[in-house]
Chain A
Amino acid sequence: MAESSLHQAAKTAGAKSYLQIVDVVKKFGDNTVVDHINLSIAKNDIFALLGSSGCGKSTLLRMLAGMETPTSGKIILDGEDITALAPYERPINMMFQSYALFPHMTVAQNIAFGLKQDRLSRSDIAERVERMLELVQMKKYAHRKPYQLSGGQQQRVALARSLAKRPKLLLLDEPLGALDKKLRQQTQLELVNMIEQVGVTCIMVTHDQEEAMTMAGRIGIMSEGQLLQVATPGEIYEHPNCRFTAEFIGETNLFGGHVVEDEPDHVCIHSIELPRPVRVGHGITGTMGMPVWLSLRPERVGVSRQQPVVSGNWAAGTVGDIAYLGGFSIFHVRLDSGKVVKASVPATHWREEAAPTWNEPVFVSWTDNDAVVLTQ
């Protein structure tokens, strides 16, 4: 772990950073909730902290907002150390999960609240409130009270309120968590558009991987207070750096094994769950014989009746369950070793022949570039 955090620090120091989180630790009593986090975020980036509940992501966000004080470490925003600043002194605004709208104020008064604290002139406030209402398309509702609005409308008011002060950093705590699923998908891109229109650096916290992947330019995976991987959504999905990330993001087939051939351009992994060593077309930092995990995404696994002509990466088995999902089906193929491999096969694959059915013997196969070796 020490090696990875050093690696992380070296990697993040290189990036042009607007917000820097330097070795931040937060302990509640003996319980370490945030464990030596290093992170830097570029200007106008939308960054998502993704993790299951209790992984420390919300605590990290609250430390950025100033609601919690780090036990140790520093937070630097735009060259200024803000670690010790009170929440009301920070150029950071947050959109709360519950939206936290002021129930006794109208929509316009809610948006104006932050501006009034800055003692802006009355006309400036009115103008900015107007612009914010326009941005979130809530002009019609300016004089409504929060309880007269739907969940989606409340969310937009909350966004407008947190953007009104033109913060250097916008924090979103589970921004769509309170909306129902259908509305959520539609709102994701809408929210990104609004944030990009304003041009603000943004950190969001979510437990929903789909939300993170749709909205964020970069994602940080958190588990047990540690930042496991920071990368673009594509990189995280295609090249997870550890077992947790591979399992957390999307579905995957995992095989335990060890390295039997270690070359700069490829490695071979032997797993007792697979009949023959698997060839993977990328080098790893590791040694011969070291235990590793092999991650194979279901959509990378092919299913066929004929024995594949390639020499290495295939296995024989029988079809167990089939989950028909319309556009594609998920085949649960039981290998001779007893391991069940999930393969997601698009419906278009079965144009020439009928799809295999239950208990039919089939072969699963994949290419050198499909499997990923996880050394952690």
Chain B
Amino acid sequence: MQSKDISGFGKLTLGAGLAFLYVPILILIVYSFNASKLVTVWASFSTHWYGVLFNDDAVISAFGLSLKIALFSSAMSVVLGTIAGLVLARFGPFKGKSLFAGMLTAPMVMPEVITGLSMLLLFVEMQQWFGFPAERGMLTIWVGHVTLCMAYVTVVIRSRLVEMDRSVEEAAMDLGARPFKIFFQITLPIIAPAIASSFLLAFTLSIDDLVITAFLSGPGSTTLPQLIFSRVRLGLNPEINALATMTVLVVTLLVVGANRMMVKAERRRARLAAAA
């Protein structure tokens, strides 16, 4: 847009910065089309490893599990995070509010190793006392991911609610709607874009989480990041490149989608503000 205004030195640093960020990914994508078995030696163009990838049952089932966990945990964290955001933004000052807010958002700043380890200890303890959860697997991973994602959702929803014009809700109440109805008919539609983007945020957080998952997964529940990690330790192979390329593709699509949605909502709000 303003490329004319950028000096030669500026162009150089910009190019270097972008190269630093994206050349590795580019190389990774290029080598996923390598015919050779060695990752670092280029032989010829081939889609062989994609074939291998799509016939690799372990990868497919890990991907399925990751997708399932990501969907469930982002759905759950959106529900809980919205409720928490609502409480923080709307229910006025109550006793222990700042403690509540701090504890809700703690998982964001807490090292994931700590979160994962403490939850592992909890589940082990629970298993000993109640026999539930019987074993670690999808359920425990889900709980762990919800804890993490919910913190982010809460922050997004809370800030959206704080900046929302409260008199709109008051107007609904004034016109005879009860609080429950106001939430579903007025508040929810207005904050829908924020809910959608926090869902996507939670989804991306969950689908590539490795640390918490590593603590909370059990035998037979291997997520995609876990699988990639363990494969890489055994030795690189262009199949992983192909898998990574697919991941980059999916993430790019999601990010572009979320971005467009946010830009659209932002424009709408700007138009609204301009009209008011």
Measured CB to CB, the residues of A under 8 A from B are 65-67, 86-88, 92-94, 96-104, 113-114, 117-118, 146-151, 154, 161-162, 165, 178
Beta-carbon contact of A151 and B165 below 8 Å: no
Q: Does B4 contact A (CB under 8 A)?
A: no
A-B contact pairs, 17 of them (CB 8 A): A65-B174, A67-B173, A93-B174, A98-B165, A99-B276, A100-B165, A101-B171, A102-B168, A102-B172, A113-B172, A118-B176, A147-B275, A148-B275, A149-B275, A151-B276, A161-B171, A178-B276
Beta-carbon contact of A150 and B168 below 8 Å: no
Measured between beta carbons, the chain B residues less than 8 angstroms from A94 are: 171, 174
Q: Does B272 contact A (CB under 8 A)?
A: yes
Measured CB to CB, the residues of B under 8 A from A are 165, 167-168, 170-178, 181, 186, 189-190, 268, 271-272, 275-276
Among A65, A104, A147, the residue within 8 A (CB) of B271 is A147
Among B171, B175, B186, B271, the one with the most A-chain Cβ atoms within 10 Å of its Cβ is B175
Among B167, B168, B178, B181, the residue within 8 A (CB) of A103 is B168
Docked pose: A104 CA to B181 CA in angstroms: 15
With A96-B170, A149-B275, A150-B275 as contacts: A114 and B175 at CB distance below 8 Å: yes
Beta-carbon contact of B276 and A154 below 8 Å: yes
Among A67, A87, A98, the one with the most B-chain Cβ atoms within 10 Å of its Cβ is A87
Measured between beta carbons, the chain A residues less than 8 angstroms from B275 are: 146-151, 154
Beta-carbon contact of A165 and B165 below 8 Å: no
Measured between beta carbons, the chain B residues less than 8 angstroms from A104 are: 189-190
Measured between beta carbons, the chain B residues less than 8 angstroms from A66 are: 174
- CB B192 to nearest CB in A, in angstroms, measures 8
Beta-carbon contact of B176 and A98 below 8 Å: no
Measured between beta carbons, the chain A residues less than 8 angstroms from B174 are: 65-67, 87-88, 92-94, 162
- CB B99 to nearest CB in A, in angstroms, measures 22
Docked pose: A45 CA to B238 CA in angstroms: 83
Measured between beta carbons, the chain A residues less than 8 angstroms from B175 are: 88, 93, 113-114, 117, 161-162, 165
Measured between beta carbons, the chain A residues less than 8 angstroms from B165 are: 98, 100
With A103-B272, A147-B271, A147-B275 as contacts: A88 and B178 at CB distance below 8 Å: yes
Docked pose: A98 CA to B171 CA in angstroms: 10
Beta-carbon contact of A100 and B173 below 8 Å: no
Measured between beta carbons, the chain A residues less than 8 angstroms from B167 are: 96-98, 100
Given contacts A96-B170, A103-B168, A117-B181, 7 further A-B contacts (CB under 8 A): A65-B174, A87-B170, A93-B174, A94-B174, A100-B167, A102-B171, A162-B175
Docked pose: A154 CA to B165 CA in angstroms: 16
Docked pose: A87 CA to B59 CA in angstroms: 57
Smallest CB-CB separation from B173: which chain A residue? A87
Smallest CB-CB separation from A92: which chain B residue? B174
Docked pose: A199 CA to B165 CA in angstroms: 30
Beta-carbon contact of A146 and B272 below 8 Å: yes
Among A97, A102, A114, the residue within 8 A (CB) of B176 is A114
Measured between beta carbons, the chain A residues less than 8 angstroms from B189 are: 104
Beta-carbon contact of A88 and B276 below 8 Å: no
Beta-carbon contact of B170 and A113 below 8 Å: no
Docked pose: A97 CA to B167 CA in angstroms: 9
Among A86, A98, A165, the residue within 8 A (CB) of B276 is A98
Among B171, B176, B271, the residue within 8 A (CB) of A100 is B171
- CB B161 to nearest CB in A, in angstroms, measures 15
Measured between beta carbons, the chain B residues less than 8 angstroms from A148 are: 275
Among B172, B186, B276, the one with the most A-chain Cβ atoms within 10 Å of its Cβ is B276
Smallest CB-CB separation from B164: which chain A residue? A103
Docked pose: A102 CA to B175 CA in angstroms: 12
With A67-B170, A100-B170, A104-B190 as contacts: A117 and B177 at CB distance below 8 Å: yes
Measured between beta carbons, the chain B residues less than 8 angstroms from A96 are: 167, 170-171
Among B165, B176, B271, the one with the most A-chain Cβ atoms within 10 Å of its Cβ is B176
- CB A144 to nearest CB in B, in angstroms, measures 11
Measured between beta carbons, the chain A residues less than 8 angstroms from B170 are: 65, 67, 87, 96, 100
Measured between beta carbons, the chain A residues less than 8 angstroms from B271 are: 147
Docked pose: A147 CA to B168 CA in angstroms: 14
Docked pose: A111 CA to B276 CA in angstroms: 18
Among A93, A99, A102, the one with the most B-chain Cβ atoms within 10 Å of its Cβ is A102
Docked pose: A97 CA to B190 CA in angstroms: 19
Among A87, A93, A100, A149, the residue within 8 A (CB) of B168 is A100
Measured between beta carbons, the chain B residues less than 8 angstroms from A98 are: 165, 167, 276
- CB B166 to nearest CB in A, in angstroms, measures 9
Measured between beta carbons, the chain B residues less than 8 angstroms from A65 are: 170, 174
Among B165, B171, B190, the one with the most A-chain Cβ atoms within 10 Å of its Cβ is B171
Smallest CB-CB separation from B189: which chain A residue? A104
- CB A128 to nearest CB in B, in angstroms, measures 13
